[in-house]
A and B are shown apart, each in its own frame.
Chain A
Amino acid sequence: MKQTRSGIRLISLILAFGVLITAVTYAGSIYVSGRKWLNNEQNTRISAARKTTLQGTIYDSAGTALAESYTAGERHYISDDAARLALAHTIGDQYGQSAGGAESRFATTLLGMTDLTRTELTISAITGSDPVGYDIVLTVNAELCKYAASLFPKGKTGALVLINYKTGAILAKVSLPAFDPANIEASVADTAYYDRVLQYRYAPGSTFKTVTLISALQNLPGVENETFDCEGTWQFADYTLKCAGSQAHGEMNLVRAFAESCNITFARLAYRMGAEKLKATAESFGFNRTFSFDDVRLNPSYCLNGASTAGEVLQAGFGQGTTQATPLHMAMISGAIANGGEMMEPKIIREIRRHQSGAISTMQSEVFLRAADEDTCLKAAKYMYEAVRSGTGTRAKISGYTDGYVCGKTGSAESTNDKSAETDAWYTGFIYGDEAHPYAIAVVIEKGGSGGQTAAPIAAAVMKKAMELSVY
């Protein structure tokens, strides 16, 4: 009997432990994941709540109201047409057309559904007024976005994103073509609802050489003192590789090869390192992984994912072939290099406030990953500075700016096998050494031609405007 009793006691203890785990997990998961669960697009309660709740206002970082409601069930957007189009994907829409916009991604916050106690609901039911949601202050600056959108060449599509690499805040974000949040009924271009900054993957082209460079600095000791010879074309097995315009760069060191953006040098470097090492560096910069950020849904970027042939490795050296990256990710990579190797998690919400009143929560910067060590990043930054000072990126210089160093890398990426088509114009870079303006930027103009000619000046102008507006 004693034995039976001790057996009963033991098993009851195990069960009690199970009950405790269940209760704690229950309470914990509601607090931790409750908001995420509620924000899911399939939450049928959102559309019902929109009819009866006074939705919160979406502000930009300067305090301009981008979307607001005066009564439950209707929504007004910023009246400036150009600004509205520039911010279309950031604001989003209420019909589920653009999934990443603030209206859908933060719908439950705007509707006040993230309040666990829901006291607001009870009080408003008793007083007879509409329940109100929370206001959101974004990190983007509306005027900067409007200006950036106006710089895009007429008729060209593409993306631009400017981030603060110290805090991870997204300061400007433009994706064209865009739709009009105030006029969803209107017909738009086929791909207008896609947020190219977050969802589109492009071949990064020569902008990927920053990653190859860092990989070479880490894996090939003494590579900085080597001399490279470029004849304009290179025949390797069945592959013929060419530099831009088949231009022969001649003999040069690594700095010049980078600044002049010599494809053959970097293909050779990739070949010397091999797929494993290059892929490892790329993955340390965030390639080939699923991002699960709170604020933005960023699609993954790929580099040498899966079985890679020799040709793919060579092409990966200069960002072609199977290499694909999103514009935001390229900006984050530049930011990581500028930030001593620490890549910050992208944030788009600066503050959540009670409606027209005090703040409930403010943005907390988080380190997303450590991409590389400080010394290597400093070296890479110096190379990128050379690229702007005397290489292909000279048009990225900001006139009259001496407080910090403008560093960057241009790219002209082939997006199709059709050799006659225009390349995508890329530029990615950052401002180094200026505490007040820690900007990192990525610009891609689809079929824009040369990165140095088309994308770099846009980047320079946007960064100059950002400095004028004192965006941080």
Chain B
Amino acid sequence: MSRLRLKKQNAQAESFKKLLYRTNEQPLLFLVCAFQIICMALLTFKTADGKADIFSLRMLFLLPFGTYAALKLVSRMWPIDRALFLLTAFLCSLSVITLRAVFTTTSKAETQALYLPIGFAAMLIGICVSRTFMSCSGFLRAAMLPCLALMALPLAFTTASAARSWVKLGTFQFQPSELLKPATALILASEFSRPAKNVKAWLPGALFGAALCAVLLVQRDLGALFLFFILTIAMFTAGTGHRKTALCVILLAGILSAVFVTYADRIQGFSYLSARMAIWRDPWNTDIESARQIRQGLISIASGGLFGSGLGLSSARKVAVVGSDYIFAAVSEEFGMIFALGVIAVYFVILLRGRMTALSCRNRFQALLAFGCAFELTSQMLLIVMGNLHIIPLTGVTLPFVSEGGSSLAGSMLLMGMLLGVGSINAQDEYDDLMRVSAGRRAKT
């Protein structure tokens, strides 16, 4: 009797596995750890005086161990999408490795390595947040005003320079727009997933998005402005389905921005726009000194060739702001075109998995939230890589996970955390449903 039951349970387990499996992530874990170990082992010897570099030696053990431990920890707590987690870990360690390889001193890499645990904490927070909010919530609606205030905070702090998007408190500084990306995704998901489809239902969300964009315009942060704008439009289209309205808004915005850019000289504070467009149109004209950055960036990308110049052998440090804005050019020069295409493919996989998660959601709110996060990460990547490649003018956004900077890492980790959280809810739902169905079957037999 017990052997029969055992057989039935095994058959049950088999059918569960067939329907509910996620492909084994062990090979991916192995590949990521191998990458980290090989890079850090090599970088240990990249010193001027011949002694082994302690930081790289520490990272040699901490990075793979940290990845493994974090993966085990998180997947014990919630049934998250492990592949996404591993890809995020890959990109984060790529950041530390690239920063170590490009610069002669280890300071930037050390700072970034210190930010990694903070980023992991942000990811945990993100998972908890998305597991708390199950549907449209009044709390989130009430959170709109504080978020707007937070976004406008730099205006109270800065003086007259062009960078008005930072808040400095003593030695600590952060960028509110980075932290507000996940908050905006959350709020907009809540607003645009309301069941009613009339104007009254989605207007608050749309106004919130518009207000954020207005604040960013005043702050002259055009890259973030563009990102928030397309995020609002995308979530609006997916949530309410009013495609024609969205298309009209996009066209209107396109016309307005074309007009704006043409007459940017006359508007106070935006005179640098026409200079930037001139740089973009003809960067090889050596008379334009400020185009030096894009010139050096393109030269750096071309110097990498197919396989790169060799870890630590590149001259990518000569490119201005290579840690955050031009990190893709640095990766391209250190590791080569093939590897850089692989990095782009990794972001593409993040998009695909985010889409998969969003489509499997049982709830419109969660679907929008997951989609919003995936959209935000991918569009940011597209913006910065196209800027590096000179397809579009450079906008000052960062490459998620790979660029240096605490705010950028925290914002991206929050987004990824929310995406993982929604995925974990999906997994639990599927498991529950399967249990229920099989219980029903068992009841029948």
Contact = CB atoms under 8 A, between A and B. Distances in A.
Interface string A38-50: 1011111100100
A134 to B, nearest CB: 15
A25 B391 contact: yes
A42 B241 contact: no
A9 B241 CA distance: 12
Given A19-B348, A25-B389, A26-B337, A5 B302 contact: no
B255 interface: no
A79 interface: no
Interface string B370-411: 010011001100100110011100000000000000000000
A187 interface: no
Interface stretch (B32-40, B86-94, B259-267, B305-313): B305-313
A153 interface: no
Contacts of A1: 364, 367
A116 B306 contact: yes
A19 B382 contact: yes
Interface in B404-438: none
- Range for the number of chain A residues in contact with chain B: 35 or more
A115 B302 CA distance: 10
B24 to A, nearest CB: 25
Interface in A23-63: 23, 25-27, 29-30, 33-35, 37-38, 40-45, 48
Given A4-B368, A113-B303, A117-B306, A16 B389 contact: no
A116 B305 contact: yes
A175 B150 CA distance: 66
A15 interface: yes
A348 B80 CA distance: 62
Contact of B238 (A8, A18, A37, A113): A8
Interface string B325-365: 00000000000010011001101100110010011000010
Contacts of B234: 11
B237 interface: yes
A3 B296 CA distance: 46
A150 interface: no
B299 A118 contact: no
Contacts of B368: 4
Given A12-B351, A19-B347, A7 B301 contact: no
A7 to B, nearest CB: 3
Contacts of A34: 302
A37 B299 contact: yes
For the residues of A in contact with B, the DSSP-based class is helix
A170 B237 CA distance: 60
Contacts of A64: none
B389 A45 contact: no
Given A37-B298, A44-B315, A22 B386 contact: yes
B351 A16 contact: yes
B82 interface: no
Contacts of A41: 286
A42 B286 contact: yes
B287 to A, nearest CB: 13
Contact of A7 (B237, B299, B305, B341): B237
B141 interface: no
Contacts of A5: 359, 367
Contacts of A11: 234, 237-238, 371, 375
A118 B351 contact: no
Contacts of B344: 19, 22-23, 26
Q: Among A12, A18, A21, A113, find the residue whose CB has the most chain B CB atoms closer than 10 A.
A: A12
Contacts of B276: none
A431 to B, nearest CB: 37
Interface string A100-121: 0000000000000101111001
A8 B358 contact: yes
Contacts of A15: 351, 375, 378-379, 382
A27 to B, nearest CB: 7
B176 interface: no
A30 B301 contact: yes
Contacts of A21: 391
Nearest to A37: B302
A136 B267 CA distance: 52
B389 A26 contact: yes
B337 A30 contact: yes
A392 to B, nearest CB: 41
B292 interface: yes
Contacts of B355: 8-9, 12
B284 interface: yes
B119 interface: no
Nearest to A12: B355
Contacts of A42: 286, 292, 295-296, 299
A17 to B, nearest CB: 10
Nearest to B308: A118
Contacts of B182: none
B239 interface: yes
Interface in B183-218: 193
A4 B299 contact: no
Contact of A19 (B306, B337, B378, B390): B378
A366 to B, nearest CB: 21
Interface string A102-146: 000000000001011110010000000000000000000000000
B7 interface: no
Contact of A22 (B239, B302, B371, B385): B385
A16 B306 contact: no
Contacts of A48: 315
Contacts of A8: 238, 355, 358-359, 367, 371
> 3 closest Cβ contacts across the A-B interface?
A7-B238, A34-B302, A37-B302
Interface of B: 193, 234, 237-239, 241, 243, 284, 286, 292, 295-296, 298-299, 301-303, 305-307, 309-310, 315, 318, 337, 340-341, 344-345, 347-348, 351-352, 355, 358-359, 364, 367-368, 371, 374-375, 378-379, 382, 385-386, 389-391
24 contacts: A4-B239, A4-B241, A4-B367, A5-B359, A5-B367, A7-B237, A8-B238, A8-B355, A8-B371, A15-B378, A15-B382, A19-B348, A19-B378, A25-B386, A26-B344, A37-B301, A37-B302, A38-B302, A42-B299, A44-B318, A45-B303, A117-B305, A118-B307, A121-B310
Interface of A: 1, 3-5, 7-12, 15-16, 18-19, 21-23, 25-27, 29-30, 33-35, 37-38, 40-45, 48, 113, 115-118, 121
